[in-house]
Amino acid sequence: MKKYYVLFFLLSNFILLSQTSIYEIQYTEIPGSEGTYPSPLFEQYIITGGIVSGINFDTDHYFITSSTGGAWNGIYIYDNEHTPAIGDSIIVYGQIWEYHGFTEIRDISSFEIISSNNPLPLSALVNTNDINLQEAYESVLIKVEDITVFSGYNEWSEWQVDDGSGECYIGPGFFNLEEMGFPLFENYPFNSITGIVSYSWGYFLLHPRNINDFNSDPGGHIFSTNSENIYGEYNFEIPVLISFLEESANINSYQLDFEFDPEIVNYSGFDENGTLSENGTVTDQIVGNEVTIDFTGSFSFSGIEPLINLSFNALNSGDADIELLSADINEMEVSYLSSGQIGVIIENNPIGDTLTVIQRPLLNIPAIVIPGQAMEIVCLAPESTTDWSAELIHNENTLSLNINGEVFDTSRQRWFLTTIIPEPEIFELYDLKVTASGDIEDITANAVQIIHEIKNEYYFIHITDTHLPTHLFYPDEETLTDTSEIVDFREVINDINLINPEFVLFTGDLVNEGELEDFENRRYFTKAQRLMKELEVPVYLVSGNHDLGGWSDTPPPQGTARRNWWRFFGWNWLSDPPDIEPYYTQDYSFDYGSVHFVGMEAYLNYDYYMYDIYGYESFIPSQIVWLEEDLQEAAESEAKVLFYHYDFSEQIDLSDLEVDMALWGHIHSDDGNINSHPYNLATDNVCDGDRAYRLIRVNDSELDPQYTSHAGLNGENLNITFYPSNEGIADSVSAIIENQQNLDF
Mean pLDDT of 32-46: 88
Same domain flag for 578 and 638: yes
Last-in-domain residue among 450, 466, 493: 450
pLDDT at 235 over 60: yes
Given this model, what pLDDT does residue 12 score? Answer: 34
Same domain flag for 309 and 422: no
Note whether residue 734 is domain-resident.
no
CA distance 378 to 402: 15
Tell me the percentage of the chain whose pLDDT exceeds 70.
Answer: 97
CA distance 324 to 298: 22
- Print burial letters for 581-599: b (CB count within 10 Å at least 16), e (below 16): eebbbbbbbbebbebbbbb
Task: Provide the CATH number for the domain around residue 302.
Answer: 2.60.40.680
Tell me the percentage of the chain whose pLDDT exceeds 90.
Answer: 84
pLDDT at 268 over 70: yes
Q: Comparing C-alpha atoms, which of 93, 89, 90, 91 is closest to residue 109?
A: 93
Given this model, what pLDDT does residue 131 score? Answer: 93
Mean pLDDT of 30-41: 85
Note whether residue 291 is domain-resident.
yes
Provide the pLDDT confidence category of residue 17 given band limits of 50, 70 and 90: low
Lowest-confidence region among 17-26, 438-447, 451-460? 17-26
Task: Provide the CATH number for the domain around residue 16.
Answer: 2.40.50.200
Last-in-domain residue among 322, 345, 368: 345
Q: What are phi and psi of 143, to 5 degrees?
A: -140, 140
Mean pLDDT of 138-150: 98
Number of domains the chain contains: 5
Q: Could you report the per-residue pLDDT of 379-429, keeping only the tens digit for each?
A: 999 999 999 999 999 999 999 999 999 999 999 999 999 999 999 999 999
Q: Could you report the per-residue pLDDT of 571-617, keeping only the tens digit for each?
A: 999 999 999 999 999 999 999 999 999 999 998 888 889 999 999 88
Note whether residue 733 is domain-resident.
no
Same domain flag for 276 and 201: no
Same domain flag for 606 and 689: yes
- Looking at per-residue confidence, does 187 or 721 come out higher? 187
Mean pLDDT of 444-449: 99
Note whether residue 738 is domain-resident.
no
Same domain flag for 164 and 99: no
Q: Comparing C-alpha atoms, which of 686, 659, 277, 276 is closest to residue 469?
A: 686
Given this model, what pLDDT does residue 119 score? Answer: 97
Task: Provide the CATH number for the domain around residue 602.
Answer: 3.60.21.10
Provide the pLDDT confidence category of residue 644 given band limits of 50, 70 and 90: very high
Same domain flag for 338 and 441: no
Provide the pLDDT confidence category of residue 481 given band limits of 50, 70 and 90: confident
pLDDT at 544 over 50: yes
Same domain flag for 281 and 385: no
Given this model, what pLDDT does residue 727 score? Answer: 78
Last-in-domain residue among 420, 450, 480: 450
Q: Where are the beta strands (DSSP E) in 245-302?
A: 251-259, 265-271, 280-287, 290-299
The per-residue pLDDT of the chain, averaged, comes to 93
Number of alpha carbons in the 13 Å side-chain half-sphere of residue 354: 14
Note whether residue 736 is domain-resident.
no
Domain containing 384: what range?
358-450
Question: What residue type is assigned to position 313 of the chain?
Answer: N
Note whether residue 584 is domain-resident.
yes
Note whether residue 351 is domain-resident.
no
Given this model, what pLDDT does residue 689 score? Answer: 96
Q: Comparing C-alpha atoms, which of 420, 419, 414, 409 is closest to residue 357?
A: 414
CA distance 139 to 262: 54
Question: What residue type is assigned to position 480 of the chain?
Answer: L
Given this model, what pLDDT does residue 208 score? Answer: 98
Same domain flag for 590 and 472: yes
Provide the pLDDT confidence category of residue 2 given band limits of 50, 70 and 90: very low
Same domain flag for 635 and 501: yes
pLDDT at 3 over 60: no
Same domain flag for 555 and 629: yes
Same domain flag for 340 and 363: no
Task: Provide the CATH number for the domain around residue 380.
Answer: 2.60.40
Task: Provide the CATH number for the domain around residue 131.
Answer: 2.40.50.140
Same domain flag for 461 and 444: no
Q: Comparing C-alpha atoms, which of 21, 138, 120 is closest to residue 68?
A: 120
Provide the pLDDT confidence category of residue 233 given band limits of 50, 70 and 90: low
Given this model, what pLDDT does residue 456 score? Answer: 97
Given this model, what pLDDT does residue 11 score? Answer: 36
Note whether residue 542 is domain-resident.
yes
Confidence (pTM): 0.68
Q: Comparing C-alpha atoms, which of 513, 516, 506 is closest to residue 543?
A: 506
